[in-house]
Amino acid sequence: MKISEQDVEYVAKLAMLEVGDEEKKALAEQLSRIVEYVEKLNQLDLSGIEPTPQVITSVKHAVRDDRVAPRTGSSDAGRTVKLFKVPRVITER
Amino acid sequence: MNLKNITADKLVALYRNRDLTITEVIKTVYDQIERVDKDVRAFLSICPERALDEARRLDGQIAAGEPMEPLSGVPVAIKDNISVRDLPTTCASRVLEGYIPPYTATAVERLRAAGAIIVGKTNCDEFAMGSTTENSGYYITRNPHNLDRVPGGSSGGSAASVASGTSLIAFGSDTGGSVRTPAAFCGVVGLKPTYGRVSRYGLVAFGSSLDQIGPLSKSVRETAQALQIIAGFDHFDSTSADSAVDDYVKGLDKPIKGTRIGIPKEYFVGGLDAEVKAKVEAGMRVYESLGCELQEISLPHTEYAVATYYLIATAEASSNLARYDGVRYGRRPGSPSSIQEMYCRTRAAGFGNEVKRRIILGTYALSAGYYDAYYLKALKVRTLMLRDFQKAFDRVDVILVPTSPTVAFKIGEKTGDPLAMYLSDIFTITQSLAGVPAISIPCGKNSENMPIGLQLVANHFQESLLLSVAHHFEKAGGFTV
C-alpha cells in the first residue's frame, strides 16, 4: 500500500510529531517502500495461528507481592528531593 | 600494558599477585581513550574521577588483604541506553540531553558489586534504533579496524571500545542484533541472552518484548563471567525469568564431541558475501574436527523476519517513546503556547530521522484499521518463527549461521536507504523474535582485513551449552580461521 503525505501527516499527529513539508515527502516515499515490503507477510496463511506478544511464558508474573524492598542504587532518591517542578500539563479549554 | 592484549580473568590474576595496581590500569585506560577515542569516538561520556576513586578504594582493599571479587578492577563500558546513577544517560538522543538517572540498572549494579569499574558510557544509534551507530544524535563511532567503516550497531560504541582497548567488557543491548552485529563488525564476542535471562530494569525501553542486555568482550570466558554475574531473576523486572542460573564458567570446558549442529539452508543463499560464507564454512569444518555432527536443517520463515521485526519493534517503540514529551525528561523548547505544542516541539527537536521514521511506522501499524493487517499479523508470523526454532531444536543442539551477510560497510553507504539498512539485519532478527540466546564470535577476517562473525544459537536458557560450544571454537584456534 502506498503511504501518502496526508497519511504521514495524520499518523505524525497521532504520534505527537511535527514534520516539515520536505520531511513529509521523504517519509511518504520511504514508508511506502517499507510498507510494500512488509506486505510480503500476506503471502502466508495465518488462519488458526495464535499471536505471540511475549516469548517466554515461564515467568512468574506481573503481579508480585506488595512489599517494600530497597531500590537498586537509588535509596536516597525521593528522600533528598521531595518535589519535582514540571510544566503545566492541565489547561483550560 | 595494552588492554587489547589482556582479558579480564588474566588482569584480575595480575592484581591478585600484586603485579599491577588497579589505579595504574585505570589511568592507562584513560590514556588509551585520550589516544584512540578522538578517532574512534566510542564514548559519549567518561567518568575518570569516579573511576579513579573506585580504583583507589579497591587497591586499598587488596592491600589490606580483603577478598577480591571476580571482576575486581576490571574496566567496563556501558551503552548509553542503560541507566547508571549520577552519570548522563542520553540513549544518544538529543531528547535526553542532560538527563541523569537517579538509579542504576540491575545488570550494572550487579557488575559493580562484582568489582568492575565503569570508565564511561558508550555511543549507539539513537534509542538503539539502527545497525551502524550512524543514527547517534551526537556523532558517529568508527570501526577501530578501519576508520572509514561503521562499527555496526546499535551497540557500536561498546564493540569499538572493547576492540580499541578502552574497556575489557562492555554492555550493549540487543533488540534485533544490536549486540551481535557490532561484535561481528569489530571482531569481538557478543552475546544476546535468552529474553528474560537478564533484568531489563534500567535499560531504556525500545522494543519491550525483544530487548535484552548482553556483554561484549574479547573472549568467550569473559562473556561467561559477565553473564554469570548479571543473569537471574530481578523483582524490579516482571519479565525477568525466575529460572536457575547455570555455572557458565565451569560449563565452558564441558566436552562437545557429538554435539549436533544445525545449518539452516535459508541462511546460505543470495546476498551472503562470498568471503563471509567461506569463513563461516571453514568454521563448520572446525566443529567437524572437534567431533560435532553437522546437519542441514530448515527455518522456513526466515525470509519473513525483517518484515515481522520492523512491525513489532516499531509498534512497541512508538508506545515506549511516547514518554518523551518534554514533561519529565531532558530538554524542552521555551514557552510553548499549549501543551500540545510542547509535546510536538519537544519531540520534533529531540528525535532524529530514524527514530521519527520508526515512531511513525509503528504508530501506523497500530492505528485503527491497520492493527489487524500489520501488527497482529506480525505477531502471528512470530509464532511460526518460534515453531521453526522449536522444531529445529528437536533435532539439533545448536544452530550455526553467519552473524551478518557482509563485513562492516563504509560509513554513509546505506544511510540513504532505510529498507536496505533494515535488510542487513536479516541474520540476527529471528533469534530476537523467538527470544532464543545467540552469540557472535570472530571467525577470521576477509581480504580487506575486516573481521567476520560466526553466530551460534541455542534453545531458551541453554546459554551454558551455547557458551561452551563457542569456547571450544576459540580454543581450537577458530577465531583466526
DSSP B143: B
Q: Over the stretch B328-351, which tens digit does the pLDDT of each residue have?
A: 887 777 778 888 888 999 999 999
Task: Considering only the beta carbons, identify the residue of A8, A72, A91 that sits closest to B339.
Answer: A91
**What pLDDT shows up at residue A57?**
66
- Mean pLDDT in residue range B293-312: 97
* Partner-chain contact A11 B363, CB within 8 Å: yes
Half-sphere exposure of B409 (CA within 13 A, CB side): 17
**What pLDDT shows up at residue A81?**
63
B371 lies in some domain: no
* Partner-chain contact B241 A55, CB within 8 Å: no
| Rounded-to-integer distance, Cα A4 and Cα B310, Å | 20
Are B438 and B456 in contact by the 8 Å Cβ rule? The answer is yes
| Rounded-to-integer distance, Cα B298 and Cα B389, Å | 9
Distance in Å, alpha carbon of B258 to nearest chain A alpha carbon: 29
Contacts of B14 (CB under 8 A, 6+ apart): B20
Structural domain tally of chain B? 1
Q: Over the stretch B21-69, which tens digit does the pLDDT of each residue have?
A: 999 999 999 999 999 999 999 999 999 999 999 999 999 999 999 999 9
Q: Over the stretch B315-326, which tens digit does the pLDDT of each residue have?
A: 999 999 999 998
Q: In the structure, what pLDDT confidence band is assigned to residue A79 with cuts at 50, 70 and 90? A: low
B-chain residues near A7 (CB < 8 A): 364
| Rounded-to-integer distance, Cα B374 and Cα B298, Å | 26
B-chain residues near A52 (CB < 8 A): 379-380, 382-383, 386
With H, G, I as helix, E, B as strand and everything else as coil, classify residue B465.
Answer: helix
| ipTM here | 0.89
- Kindly tell me if the per-residue pLDDT of B231 is higher than 90: yes
| Rounded-to-integer distance, Cα B135 and Cα B271, Å | 24
- Mean pLDDT in residue range B127-132: 97
Report yes or no: A37 at the B interface, CB cutoff 8 Å: yes
Mean per-residue pLDDT of chain A:
83
Contacts of B189 (CB under 8 A, 6+ apart): B183, B216, B217, B218, B219, B220, B222, B223, B439, B440, B441, B442, B470
Are B237 and B109 in contact by the 8 Å Cβ rule? The answer is no
CA-based radius of gyration for chain A: 23
CA angle B470, B472, B474 (to 5 degrees): 75
Q: Over the stretch B250-288, which tens digit does the pLDDT of each residue have?
A: 999 999 999 999 999 999 988 899 999 999 999 999 999
- Kindly tell me if the per-residue pLDDT of A74 is higher than 70: no
Q: Which fold has domain A5-43?
A: Histone, subunit A (1.10.20)
| Rounded-to-integer distance, Cα B156 and Cα B125, Å | 8
- Kindly tell me if the per-residue pLDDT of B243 is higher than 90: no
With H, G, I as helix, E, B as strand and everything else as coil, classify residue B43.
Answer: strand
**What pLDDT shows up at residue A76?**
58
Range of the domain at B183: 1-299+392-410+436-481
A-chain residues near B345 (CB < 8 A): 18
Give B333-341 contacts, CB < 8 A, sequence gap 24+. Answer: B338/A91, B339/A88, B339/A89, B339/A91, B340/A16
Most A CBs within 10 Å, among B82, B99, B355, B377, to test the A interface? B377
- Kindly tell me if the per-residue pLDDT of A80 is higher than 70: no
Q: Over the stretch B447-477, which tens digit does the pLDDT of each residue have?
A: 999 999 999 999 999 999 999 999 999 999 9
Most B CBs within 10 Å, among A2, A4, A10, A11, to test the B interface? A11
* Partner-chain contact A16 B364, CB within 8 Å: no
Nearest residue to B398 via CA among B443, B452, B462: B462
Give the length of chain B.
Answer: 481
What pairing do the DSSP bridges indicate for beta strands B75-79 and B169-174?
Answer: parallel
B346 lies in some domain: no
The pTM of this model reads: 0.96
Q: In the structure, what pLDDT confidence band is assigned to residue B387 with cuts at 50, 70 and 90? A: very high
B318 lies in some domain: no
Distance in Å, alpha carbon of B166 to nearest chain A alpha carbon: 25
B110 lies in some domain: yes
| Rounded-to-integer distance, Cα B71 and Cα B115, Å | 5
With H, G, I as helix, E, B as strand and everything else as coil, classify residue B191.
Answer: strand
Give yes or no: B154 in active site.
yes
Mean per-residue pLDDT of chain B:
96
We report the CATH number of the domain holding residue B158 as: 3.90.1300.10
B38 lies in some domain: yes
- Cis geometry, peptide bond prior to residue B154 (ω within 30 degrees of 0): yes
Contacts of A78 (CB under 8 A, 6+ apart): none
B349 lies in some domain: no
- Mean pLDDT in residue range B355-377: 94
Encode burial over B314-353: b for 16+ CB neighbours within 10 A, e otherwise.
bbbbbbbbeebbbbebbebeeebeebeebbbbbbbebbbe
Catalytic residue among B167, B178, B240, B404: B178
